[in-house]
Structure 1
Amino acid sequence: MSNLSKQVEHECDSSTGCNAIELLLHPREKDLGGFSVRRVLPAVQRKMVGPWIFFDHMGPAEFSAGEGINVRPHPHVNIATVTYLFEGEILHRDSVGSLQAIKPGDINLMVAGSGITHSERERPELTAVDHTLHGLQLWLALPEADEEIDAAFYHYPEADIPTAVVNDVAVRVMMGSAYGVTSPVKVFAKTLYVEAHLKAGQTLSLPDADERAVYVAKGKLKSKETEIAEYAMAIFSDQKGIVLEASVDSRIAIIGGENIGKRYIEWNFVSSRKERIEQAKEDWREGRFPLVAGDEDEFIPLPE
């Protein structure tokens, strides 16, 4: 999804919890015209968790027939994007020639590297009827050695994502390794991304990682005596043996990994170098990015 404003960092309501929780972020809902987004990262209070630098929870959005997602071509550099849907579908096109319907349960990894352009729309069959869209969109900052690699797109269907049952809790290891299983999804640094469904009263131990956070997409958790509300993200320390307990039936995302250093971010551009972002802005203004195959006629202008 394109960031629609030049300024990417958002102010979140924040607080501190138990000593294992470094920060609690409560994103503010933003109306993007027809649907809402909760942007958790980057926040003024916390820019990144491991290599993750952007975390949006979109929807659930209810669209009437004739309406839907219609994001015109826009650029990225020096990151990889991850799209994961709970409900609905997005039609992805990009400048490396990809045409992919993204469906619930799939992992879709778009590597911007030295530069990519993509659009996110919907198939006519979908927009012809009432429909729902709900999911997460995340950006991974690439390690400095990989920032300028060739652009690429990887699609992993739902059936390829490994699952496990941990203390009766169903988990999916989307990226990285946790709970004795390893995801096939390509990573560039030590990266953690896990989804879990907990029933009320169930508990789950957090996998170890240098940095990690838990986002409550639905429900409510607690860690010791600290409550983690629906739509909140808890940033945890690297303390071992941290246990989460579901107060009600909950769906959560666990993200994390290694700290790869400071990144600059403006609009849809992320880099370890400020001058690289300025170059990307100039390249987009001057039309030097590659066009999206099959979607060449429109684009989102650079915010000024």
Structure 2
Amino acid sequence: MRVAMLGYQTWGHRTLQALLDSTHDVVGVVTHPASDHAYERIWGDSVEQLARQHGIPVHLARRPDDDLVARLTAWQPDIAVANNWRTWLPPEVYDLPPHGTLNLHDSLLPAFTGFSPVPWALISGAEDVGITAHRMDGGLDTGDIAAQRAVPVGPRSTGTELVRATIDLIPEVLLDALARIEAGTVEWRAQDLDQRTFFHRRTERDSLIDWTWPAADLDRLVRAMSDPYPSAYTFHRGERLEVIEAHISAFRYGGTPGRIFIREGDGMAIVAGGDAHRGGNRALVIDRVRTPDGTEHAASAYFPVGGGYLSREP
């Protein structure tokens, strides 16, 4: 089929590469200009560069406009494929090709609609993550589903590992859906939107540790914000402190959330949970931290003894 591709960052790059490696004809690419946003620099493989290397026409746009509609019309695609297109698309774009637009979203829809679905899924305690190919409609990630694949979340999975695993699913999910659409055998499955969960774009504040969370939730937050994501962080003696490795304590600790309590193994146990005063909670054991100068420290070196507090304010 003649395919127009709309995408950005590594997700769009992998999608375009899968199309280039297939029997489909990529007739044009639409992508966003490069951005300085922290989350957009992390997975920064260039869709524009890959397209130009293969002599494919490229249209740069921050959001849909009349020029974009004109370019799509001129390319005459049978179908459009979108992955990590960052703004809402109107029906004059997504309904323009005869087969409409197939959107790839890195969650198991209808769960984790919206932004940063893999980190949010890990933080939320989801058992698996994945990729969904669905037909674009007037909602955000609400269209009928053509194909899905899942990746289990392991007990020590990190956000980085899970993002890479879902990106690796893109060729399989995309080409399976396109093959069945082209053959006329696709069975579109409507989403149960009563089960939809919708998450906002992550910002730096979303990585600020709240010590009233249970230790299991904090452990997942630290793992979700694994390098190269902006790390989970807290404040200690007025200094920002990134927590880059941690785990749940073997023992239960009581007291005030955020209290730097006692060594457990090679780490430092931090009291956690809003009801920690009852004495029934696990602590978050910090294993490694990073100070503002970029230096990493073992917790045993950074916290030579217990005492004091970690907090949400400098």
TM range (shorter): under 0.3
Structure whose residues are more often helix by fraction:
2
TM-score, normalised with respect to structure 1: 0.26
- Work out which structure has the larger RCO, using CA pairs closer than 8 Å and 6 or more positions apart in sequence: 1
Which has the greater radius of gyration?
Answer: 2
